[in-house]
Amino acid sequence: MDSIAIQGGAQLFGDIPVSGAKNSAIKLMAASILTDQPLLLTNMPRLADTRFLGQLLRQFGIEVTERDGADGQESLFHAAELTSTFAPYDLVRQMRASFNVLGPLLARTGEAKVSLPGGCTIGARPVDLHLQALTALGAEIELDEGYVTARAPKGLQGAEIEFPFVSVGATEHALLAAVLAQGTTVLRRAAREPEIGDLAQCLTAMGAKIEGIDTDVLTITGVSSLNGTTWSVIPDRVEMGSYAVAAAMAGGEVRLTKARAELIGSLTDKMIEAGIEVSPTADGVLIKRDPKQRLKAVDVETAIYPGFATDLQAQFMALMTTAEGVSTVRETIFENRFMHVPELARLGADISVHAGEAHVNGVEVLHGAQVMATDLRASMCLVIAGLVAEGETTVGRVYHLDRGFERLEEKLGACGADIRRIKGTGDEH
């Protein structure tokens, strides 16, 4: 199993191009199920998660072609004929979001059998909202031996759906199903993340009729079929925010390109408050910091978009480990999102956790050590801490990183980071 080694202390100078958003790309890939015409996605990230979903789409008989285009990496999806509507556990378990193929399969063919995500029960991070939305649209749902069997022999029907709380996955899933439903569907308390707007706009370009994009009420008038289109995936705001924090942690001057500064406004506001210089540019954002000037401790609380993203909480906590004073990081979205704290402590961070809050008492120096990634965001926070830790930091289990960060060592290394990948043997995940 691979690991990443970082020799701390190097400042960062240069440009980092931001990849297309993973969380948008995988839902746009699922949208290819809805049409028998080609869907071309440009600005496509090449990640473990997009590779897993590509394998699943091929299982349905969809042609998937990856290639280099005029504006970078692109992928062509052509579902001329669906030869299967079965999504087996061995493929779905590798990525939770692949469950969202259920709605498009059901909308186009009237039936589907999809495994519940790996390690998932109807409970923590539940899929029950997804199934309730599909049931409201007229689907007949059965759960049996870890699989969801769904049928809509007369097609899906428009419905009024009010989510009990904001759910990104359920909003996307209902949207993907409703575009081919008969009649009008209204989604209330819909999530407003930029990736949902990207999906809705792509579906509109494919012929869907959607009103209220980027609001919490989406109105979808069903159509009988969708056409193909060419669509550019929006920049990945989590990658953008992560590299912004990395640049701030190490010090120096880094320009994030192919980016949109407004997507991470809740983060950059806090970075400015901490003493970091942040400036929008024509195609992204510039991060500057003199590492001789110690940062100021700043409190953050995660919230649904446009609030502070839970997917940037771990990275910001790493930044606060060497800030002057005590910062409070409050997590309100997911439980168990502080699993990176013991690993940061191995580097010398002083952090205490009480229920949904972490109190970070900034220290002057971190020290390199062997640490273990517990999830995707925790992986990146350990890399960020390693950029300033004295000596060498080795981050294990970086297959988590490979799920969400494309060419990480190359991008940081091009700006002066002393970072390298150590190839391992075997596969433990």
First to last CA, the chain: 9
Instruction: Please check if 128 is assigned to a binding site.
Output: yes
Give the alpha-carbon dihedral of 137, 232, 378, 315, to 10 degrees.
-120
Instruction: Please check if 56 is assigned to a binding site.
Output: no
What are the start-end ranges of the H helices in 125-167? 128-136
Q: How far apart are CA 77 and CA 337, in angstroms?
A: 35
Q: How far apart are CA 34 and CA 259, in angstroms?
A: 29
- 310 close to 331: Cβ distance less than 8 angstroms: yes
Instruction: Please check if 234 is assigned to a binding site.
Output: no
- 367 close to 344: Cβ distance less than 8 angstroms: no
Coil, helix or strand at residue 246 = helix
Q: Distance of CA 357 to CAs 244, 295, 354, Å?
A: 23, 21, 5
- Six token digits for residue 189: 């308390």
- 118 close to 96: Cβ distance less than 8 angstroms: yes
Instruction: Please check if 403 is assigned to a binding site.
Output: no
Sign of the CA dihedral running 25, 401, 126, 191: negative
Q: State CA 332 to chain mean position distance.
A: 17
Q: How far apart are CA 224 and CA 220, in angstroms?
A: 13
Q: How far apart are CA 335 and CA 355, in angstroms?
A: 9
- 76 close to 67: Cβ distance less than 8 angstroms: yes
Rg (the chain; Cα; Å): 22
- 334 close to 125: Cβ distance less than 8 angstroms: yes
- 313 close to 340: Cβ distance less than 8 angstroms: no
Instruction: Please check if 226 is assigned to a binding site.
Output: no
Q: Is residue 120 flagged as an active site residue?
A: yes
Instruction: Please check if 96 is assigned to a binding site.
Output: yes
Instruction: Please check if 127 is assigned to a binding site.
Output: yes
Instruction: Please check if 23 is assigned to a binding site.
Output: yes
Instruction: Please check if 134 is assigned to a binding site.
Output: no
Annotated catalytic residue within 120, 202, 381, 415: 120
Coil, helix or strand at residue 222 = coil
Coil, helix or strand at residue 348 = coil
Catalytic annotation, residues: 120
Which residues are part of a known binding site? 22-23, 96, 125-129, 311, 333
Which residues are part of a known binding site for phosphoenolpyruvate? 22-23
Which residues are part of a known binding site for UDP-N-acetyl-alpha-D-glucosamine? 96, 125-129, 311, 333
